């Protein structure tokens, strides 16, 4: 019983109460900003890869603020499934345009979703344009978020696995 008490005092408790509260409050604007950068990838600089990296900083923030005992190891399976699902949906989007070529943009200049046509010149930027480019941006964004979070989580908890 003494060994259990020593183990409980030795585990990583994280930082103070102020940091834990603030990290909950600031998580919501970070998620909204990351989704904005991902979704407007065809209008402004950015896209799938920087947007996924922005959302992946949240897991590092929670690891530092809460300690490696609270962020459980069962999250590894969830992140791995999300990464595989996003990559499969990216490849599936490429297969849908197989009428002419692989990776053919089958939604541009048609009347479906994301299919408005624009002409050459400077304009203000309309959201429902782009064809398959916003959909591929979302898929790549989720894949980069899951992969980077998985790498950070595994290299932090190591082989012992943290708290279960």
35 Rama sector, left if φ>0, alpha if ψ -120 to 50, beta otherwise: alpha
Q: Which helix (H) or strand (E) holds 75?
A: helix 75-95
Q: List the one residue from 87, 89, 106, 163 that touches other proteins (CB under 8 A).
A: 87
Q: Does 115 participate in binding other proteins (rule CB under 8 A)?
A: yes
Minimum CB distance to other proteins, residue 22 (Å): 28
List C-alpha distances in Å: 36 to 20, 24, 46, 85, 140.
25, 20, 10, 21, 14
Q: List the one residue from 6, 17, 45, 95 that touches other proteins (CB under 8 A).
A: 45
Q: List the one residue from 26, 91, 98, 113 that touches other proteins (CB under 8 A).
A: 91
Stretch that binds other proteins, among 12-20, 26-34, 60-68, 84-92 (CB under 8 A): 84-92
User: What is the Cα–Cα distance from 137 to 79, expressed in whole angstroms?
Assistant: 19
Tell me the site size for other proteins, rule CB under 8 A: 50
User: What is the Cα–Cα distance from 97 to 135, expressed in whole angstroms?
Assistant: 14
Q: Does 76 participate in binding other proteins (rule CB under 8 A)?
A: yes
User: What is the Cα–Cα distance from 39 to 119, expressed in whole angstroms?
Assistant: 21
- Cα 78 to chain centroid, rounded: 13
User: What is the Cα–Cα distance from 65 to 55, expressed in whole angstroms?
Assistant: 16
Q: List the one residue from 6, 28, 111, 155 that touches other proteins (CB under 8 A).
A: 155
Q: Does 131 participate in binding other proteins (rule CB under 8 A)?
A: yes
Footprint of other proteins (CB under 8 A): 41-45, 47, 49, 76, 80, 83-84, 87, 90-91, 94, 102-103, 105, 108-109, 115-125, 129-133, 136-137, 140, 143-144, 146-147, 150-151, 154-155, 158-160
């Amino acid at each position: 019983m003494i060994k259990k008490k020593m183990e409980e005092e030795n585990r990583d408790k994280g930082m103070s109460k102020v940091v834990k509260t603030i990290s909950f409050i600031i998580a919501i604007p970070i998620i909204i900003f990351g989704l904005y950068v991902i979704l407007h990838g065809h209008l402004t600089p950015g896209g799938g890869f920087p947007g996924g990296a922005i959302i992946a900083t949240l897991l590092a923030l929670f690891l530092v603020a809460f300690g490696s005992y609270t962020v459980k190891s069962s999250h590894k399976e969830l992140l791995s499934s999300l990464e595989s699902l996003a990559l499969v949906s990216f490849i599936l989007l490429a297969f849908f345009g197989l009428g002419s070529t692989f990776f053919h943009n089958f939604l541009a200049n048609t009347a479906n979703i994301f299919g408005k046509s624009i002409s050459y010149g400077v304009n203000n930027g309309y959201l429902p344009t782009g064809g398959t480019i916003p959909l591929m941006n979302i898929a790549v964004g989720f894949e980069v978020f899951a992969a980077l979070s998985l790498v950070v989580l595994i290299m932090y908890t190591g082989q012992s696995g943290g708290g279960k």
